[in-house]
Amino acid sequence: MQLFVGLGNPGAKYARNRHNIGFMAMDAIAADHGFGPWRAKFRGRVAEGLLGGEKVLLLKPETFMNLSGEAVAEAARFYKLAPGDVTVFHDGLALAPRKMRVKRGGGHAGHNGLRSIHAHLGPDYARVRLGIGHPGHKDRVAGYVLQDFAKADAGWLDDLMRGISDGASWLAQGKPDRFQNAVAQRVAPAPQPAKPPKAKQPAPTPQDPPQDDRSALRKLVDRFR
């Protein structure tokens, strides 16, 4: 079994916050892959299902972000999972919106949810970092992550969630490169071939004035008619 964890804060007040993009990813996977109903367990909400033939438990901790590790550790202990069986989906300030990175191990980069998981599991779990962008100054970070996504973000956010759902089976099968490719195809589809430019029409050739074969006398006569 594998454990996919989406980080966020519980309750309708936080549902559309940037900090809750991990919860959104879990909801997308559960809805698109026929997972069982969400139920309360392990100090969170869980749903079970199959991805690419692999049994996967989705977990949304309800401990609030700073204590996420408590719920993750409880689920991991119950199913006797090693850190390598756990994948955490979380927001990433250092990544531009719509970008995504997958890695295993490493630091928590100051993310409070990851910090808590580190304290309970150590660093050797996998992470799917979902870019939300940075507000520009560290003093604005707390307010920024707890704000809802802007209406202008709806398009790329929907594409990102669809891509995560498309590639979730690859991730469960231990093929993160294929997972990332599936997301990239949704978020940045292959560009359509450009239409060839219209051929320029040649400029009209100046026409020579018609030749006047009249005699000088004839021209004079015609002039005074």
Is 19 catalytic? The answer is yes
Would you say 18 and 12 are in contact if contact means Cβ atoms under 8 Å apart? no
Structural tokens at position 138: 């560290």
Would you say 126 and 104 are in contact if contact means Cβ atoms under 8 Å apart? yes
Would you say 148 and 165 are in contact if contact means Cβ atoms under 8 Å apart? no
How does strand 39-41 pair with strand 44-51?
antiparallel
Structural tokens at position 190: 């292959």
CB atoms within 10 A of CB 16: 15
- Greatest extent of the chain over all pairs of C-alpha atoms, in Å: 119
Choice among 19, 33, 90, 111 that is catalytic: 19
Q: Which of 130, 128, 127 is nearest to 149 (CA)?
A: 130
Annotated active-site positions, please?
19
